[in-house]
Amino acid sequence: MQRLYIHPIPVRIWHWTNAVGFVLMILSGMQIRYVGLIDVVSFRAAVTVHNFVGFVLIANFFVWFFFYIFSDRIRAYHSELNPRKHFIGSFRQIYYYAFGIFKGEPNPFQVSIYRKFNPLQSMIYQIIMMLLVPVQFYTGILMWDVKRFSAQVNFFGGVRVIDTVHVLIFIALVFYLLVHVYLGTLGHTRTAHFKAMMTGYEDMEEEPAAEPKPSSGTHST
Protein backbone atom coordinates (compact mmCIF):
# COMPACT_ATOMS: atom_id res chain seq x y z
CA MET A 1 0.00 0.00 0.00
CA GLN A 2 1.14 3.52 -0.80
CA ARG A 3 0.08 6.32 1.58
CA LEU A 4 -0.77 9.75 0.17
CA TYR A 5 -1.52 12.85 2.23
CA ILE A 6 -4.78 13.82 0.53
CA HIS A 7 -6.73 15.71 3.21
CA PRO A 8 -4.91 18.57 5.02
CA ILE A 9 -6.03 19.60 8.53
CA PRO A 10 -8.19 22.60 7.41
CA VAL A 11 -10.10 20.33 5.02
CA ARG A 12 -10.67 17.72 7.72
CA ILE A 13 -11.88 20.35 10.22
CA TRP A 14 -14.22 21.76 7.59
CA HIS A 15 -15.48 18.31 6.60
CA TRP A 16 -16.37 17.04 10.08
CA THR A 17 -17.80 20.39 11.20
CA ASN A 18 -19.93 20.29 8.06
CA ALA A 19 -20.98 16.69 8.70
CA VAL A 20 -22.14 17.35 12.28
CA GLY A 21 -23.67 20.69 11.31
CA PHE A 22 -25.68 19.27 8.41
CA VAL A 23 -27.11 16.50 10.59
CA LEU A 24 -28.18 19.08 13.20
CA MET A 25 -29.67 21.28 10.48
CA ILE A 26 -31.64 18.33 9.07
CA LEU A 27 -32.99 17.30 12.47
CA SER A 28 -33.85 20.83 13.61
CA GLY A 29 -35.29 21.66 10.19
CA MET A 30 -37.56 18.62 10.33
CA GLN A 31 -38.72 19.68 13.80
CA ILE A 32 -39.48 23.20 12.54
CA ARG A 33 -41.24 21.99 9.42
CA TYR A 34 -43.35 19.32 11.13
CA VAL A 35 -44.07 20.99 14.46
CA GLY A 36 -46.94 19.13 16.12
CA LEU A 37 -46.13 15.95 14.26
CA ILE A 38 -42.56 15.75 15.62
CA ASP A 39 -42.09 16.95 19.18
CA VAL A 40 -38.56 15.94 20.17
CA VAL A 41 -37.72 19.48 21.30
CA SER A 42 -39.71 22.68 21.46
CA PHE A 43 -40.25 24.80 18.35
CA ARG A 44 -38.26 27.67 19.89
CA ALA A 45 -35.33 25.38 20.73
CA ALA A 46 -35.33 23.94 17.20
CA VAL A 47 -35.29 27.44 15.67
CA THR A 48 -32.46 28.52 17.99
CA VAL A 49 -30.35 25.47 17.10
CA HIS A 50 -31.14 25.82 13.40
CA ASN A 51 -30.10 29.49 13.32
CA PHE A 52 -26.94 29.02 15.41
CA VAL A 53 -25.70 26.00 13.46
CA GLY A 54 -26.57 27.78 10.21
CA PHE A 55 -24.20 30.64 11.00
CA VAL A 56 -21.51 28.17 12.10
CA LEU A 57 -21.80 26.45 8.71
CA ILE A 58 -21.60 29.78 6.88
CA ALA A 59 -18.36 30.58 8.72
CA ASN A 60 -17.16 27.04 8.03
CA PHE A 61 -17.87 27.50 4.32
CA PHE A 62 -15.44 30.41 4.24
CA VAL A 63 -12.80 28.26 5.95
CA TRP A 64 -13.13 25.85 3.00
CA PHE A 65 -13.31 28.63 0.41
CA PHE A 66 -10.29 30.64 1.54
CA PHE A 67 -8.16 27.55 2.18
CA TYR A 68 -8.62 26.37 -1.39
CA ILE A 69 -8.34 29.85 -2.91
CA PHE A 70 -5.02 30.56 -1.20
CA SER A 71 -3.39 27.14 -1.45
CA ASP A 72 -2.21 24.93 -4.27
CA ARG A 73 -4.94 22.42 -3.33
CA ILE A 74 -7.33 24.43 -5.50
CA ARG A 75 -5.98 22.27 -8.32
CA ALA A 76 -8.22 19.48 -6.99
CA TYR A 77 -11.22 21.48 -8.22
CA HIS A 78 -9.82 22.35 -11.65
CA SER A 79 -12.15 20.97 -14.26
CA GLU A 80 -11.03 19.11 -17.34
CA LEU A 81 -11.04 21.80 -20.04
CA ASN A 82 -11.69 19.28 -22.79
CA PRO A 83 -15.50 18.71 -22.63
CA ARG A 84 -15.30 15.44 -24.56
CA LYS A 85 -12.64 14.04 -22.24
CA HIS A 86 -14.53 15.25 -19.15
CA PHE A 87 -17.86 13.66 -20.13
CA ILE A 88 -16.20 10.41 -21.22
CA GLY A 89 -14.54 10.25 -17.80
CA SER A 90 -17.86 11.02 -16.08
CA PHE A 91 -19.72 8.31 -18.01
CA ARG A 92 -16.97 5.80 -17.20
CA GLN A 93 -17.39 6.65 -13.53
CA ILE A 94 -21.18 6.31 -13.74
CA TYR A 95 -20.76 2.90 -15.39
CA TYR A 96 -18.33 1.86 -12.65
CA TYR A 97 -20.69 2.89 -9.83
CA ALA A 98 -23.74 1.32 -11.52
CA PHE A 99 -22.22 -1.91 -12.90
CA GLY A 100 -18.44 -2.21 -12.83
CA ILE A 101 -18.03 -2.26 -9.06
CA PHE A 102 -20.44 -5.20 -8.79
CA LYS A 103 -18.47 -7.11 -11.43
CA GLY A 104 -15.16 -6.61 -9.64
CA GLU A 105 -13.79 -4.20 -12.23
CA PRO A 106 -11.13 -1.68 -11.11
CA ASN A 107 -12.05 1.94 -10.48
CA PRO A 108 -11.22 3.90 -13.67
CA PHE A 109 -10.01 6.82 -11.54
CA GLN A 110 -6.89 6.82 -9.37
CA VAL A 111 -6.60 9.40 -6.59
CA SER A 112 -3.54 11.63 -6.37
CA ILE A 113 -2.62 14.60 -4.15
CA TYR A 114 -3.94 17.16 -6.62
CA ARG A 115 -6.63 14.97 -8.22
CA LYS A 116 -8.73 13.61 -5.38
CA PHE A 117 -12.03 13.95 -7.28
CA ASN A 118 -12.97 11.85 -10.28
CA PRO A 119 -14.62 13.74 -13.20
CA LEU A 120 -18.13 13.03 -11.92
CA GLN A 121 -17.31 14.14 -8.37
CA SER A 122 -15.56 17.27 -9.60
CA MET A 123 -18.64 18.39 -11.53
CA ILE A 124 -21.11 17.57 -8.73
CA TYR A 125 -19.01 19.11 -5.94
CA GLN A 126 -18.62 22.38 -7.83
CA ILE A 127 -22.39 22.60 -8.40
CA ILE A 128 -23.05 21.91 -4.73
CA MET A 129 -20.34 24.08 -3.19
CA MET A 130 -20.51 27.03 -5.57
CA LEU A 131 -24.26 27.10 -6.28
CA LEU A 132 -26.56 25.09 -4.02
CA VAL A 133 -24.84 25.75 -0.69
CA PRO A 134 -24.52 29.55 -1.17
CA VAL A 135 -28.17 29.78 -2.28
CA GLN A 136 -29.19 27.71 0.73
CA PHE A 137 -27.28 30.03 3.05
CA TYR A 138 -28.75 33.10 1.38
CA THR A 139 -32.37 31.90 1.57
CA GLY A 140 -31.79 30.86 5.19
CA ILE A 141 -30.52 34.33 6.11
CA LEU A 142 -33.54 35.95 4.43
CA MET A 143 -35.92 33.81 6.48
CA TRP A 144 -33.86 34.33 9.65
CA ASP A 145 -34.98 37.98 9.72
CA VAL A 146 -37.76 38.52 7.18
CA LYS A 147 -38.48 42.03 8.43
CA ARG A 148 -34.90 43.25 8.04
CA PHE A 149 -34.59 41.72 4.57
CA SER A 150 -38.17 42.40 3.48
CA ALA A 151 -37.10 44.26 0.31
CA GLN A 152 -35.09 41.27 -0.93
CA VAL A 153 -37.78 38.80 0.12
CA ASN A 154 -40.41 40.76 -1.81
CA PHE A 155 -38.09 41.07 -4.81
CA PHE A 156 -37.91 37.26 -5.08
CA GLY A 157 -41.66 36.81 -4.73
CA GLY A 158 -42.25 36.59 -1.00
CA VAL A 159 -41.57 34.22 1.88
CA ARG A 160 -43.31 31.28 0.21
CA VAL A 161 -40.95 31.39 -2.77
CA ILE A 162 -37.87 31.74 -0.56
CA ASP A 163 -39.07 28.90 1.67
CA THR A 164 -39.81 26.64 -1.32
CA VAL A 165 -36.30 27.15 -2.73
CA HIS A 166 -34.82 26.50 0.72
CA VAL A 167 -36.76 23.24 1.12
CA LEU A 168 -35.97 21.99 -2.40
CA ILE A 169 -32.24 22.53 -1.87
CA PHE A 170 -32.59 20.88 1.54
CA ILE A 171 -34.03 17.78 -0.16
CA ALA A 172 -31.21 17.78 -2.74
CA LEU A 173 -28.55 18.07 -0.01
CA VAL A 174 -30.09 15.25 2.04
CA PHE A 175 -30.01 13.02 -1.05
CA TYR A 176 -26.40 14.05 -1.69
CA LEU A 177 -25.48 13.31 1.94
CA LEU A 178 -26.89 9.77 1.70
CA VAL A 179 -25.04 9.09 -1.57
CA HIS A 180 -21.87 10.65 -0.13
CA VAL A 181 -21.91 8.30 2.87
CA TYR A 182 -22.53 5.31 0.58
CA LEU A 183 -19.63 6.24 -1.69
CA GLY A 184 -17.48 6.63 1.41
CA THR A 185 -17.80 2.87 1.95
CA LEU A 186 -16.34 1.99 -1.46
CA GLY A 187 -12.66 2.11 -0.52
CA HIS A 188 -10.43 -0.96 -0.30
CA THR A 189 -12.18 -1.51 3.05
CA ARG A 190 -15.59 -0.27 4.22
CA THR A 191 -14.00 2.32 6.54
CA ALA A 192 -10.87 3.27 4.55
CA HIS A 193 -12.21 6.60 3.26
CA PHE A 194 -13.61 7.55 6.67
CA LYS A 195 -10.25 6.85 8.33
CA ALA A 196 -8.53 8.89 5.62
CA MET A 197 -10.71 11.88 6.46
CA MET A 198 -9.58 11.56 10.09
CA THR A 199 -5.86 10.99 9.52
CA GLY A 200 -5.44 12.81 6.22
CA TYR A 201 -3.74 9.81 4.62
CA GLU A 202 -5.34 7.73 1.88
CA ASP A 203 -4.03 4.19 1.39
CA MET A 204 -3.59 3.49 -2.31
CA GLU A 205 -3.04 0.12 -3.87
CA GLU A 206 0.17 0.23 -5.88
CA GLU A 207 -0.13 -0.70 -9.53
CA PRO A 208 1.75 -3.88 -10.41
CA ALA A 209 5.09 -3.26 -12.05
CA ALA A 210 5.19 -3.83 -15.77
CA GLU A 211 6.91 -7.01 -16.87
CA PRO A 212 10.24 -6.36 -18.61
CA LYS A 213 10.09 -6.67 -22.37
CA PRO A 214 12.22 -9.44 -23.86
CA SER A 215 15.43 -8.25 -25.41
CA SER A 216 15.48 -8.15 -29.18
CA GLY A 217 19.07 -9.36 -29.25
CA THR A 218 20.22 -13.00 -29.45
CA HIS A 219 21.41 -14.84 -26.36
CA SER A 220 24.23 -17.34 -26.38
CA THR A 221 23.60 -20.72 -24.83
Domain with residue 7: its CATH number is 1.20.950.20
Residues 175 and 166: their CA atoms lie apart, in Å, by: 14
Q: Is 117 left (phi over 0), alpha (psi -120 to 50) or beta?
A: beta
Decide: residue 93, CB within 10 A, 0-12 exposed, 13-18 middle, 19+ buried. Answer: buried
When divided into structural domains, the chain yields a total of 1
In-domain check, residue 86: no
pLDDT for the residue 37: 85
Decide if 51 is inside a domain: yes
**Residue 57 counted as domain residue:** yes
Note the pLDDT of residue 206: 60
Select from 147, 172, 136, 144 the least CA-distant residue to 32.
Answer: 144
**Is position 65 within any domain?**
yes
pTM, whole model, 2 decimals?
Answer: 0.83
Considering the domain boundaries, does residue 75 fall inside one? yes
pLDDT of residue 198: 93
Is residue 62 classed as helix, strand or coil in its secondary structure? helix
Per the domain annotation, does 94 fall within a domain?
Answer: no
- The H or E element containing residue 3 is strand 2-5
Whether 87 maps to a domain, the answer reads no
- Does residue 214 lie within any of the structural domains? no
Q: What range defines the domain where residue 57 resides?
A: 2-80+111-204
Residues of the chain predicted below pLDDT 50: 208-221
The SS3 of residue 166 is: helix
Q: Which of 181, 170, 210 is nearest to 30 (CA)?
A: 170
pLDDT at 93: 93
Instruction: Report pLDDT for 1.
Output: 66
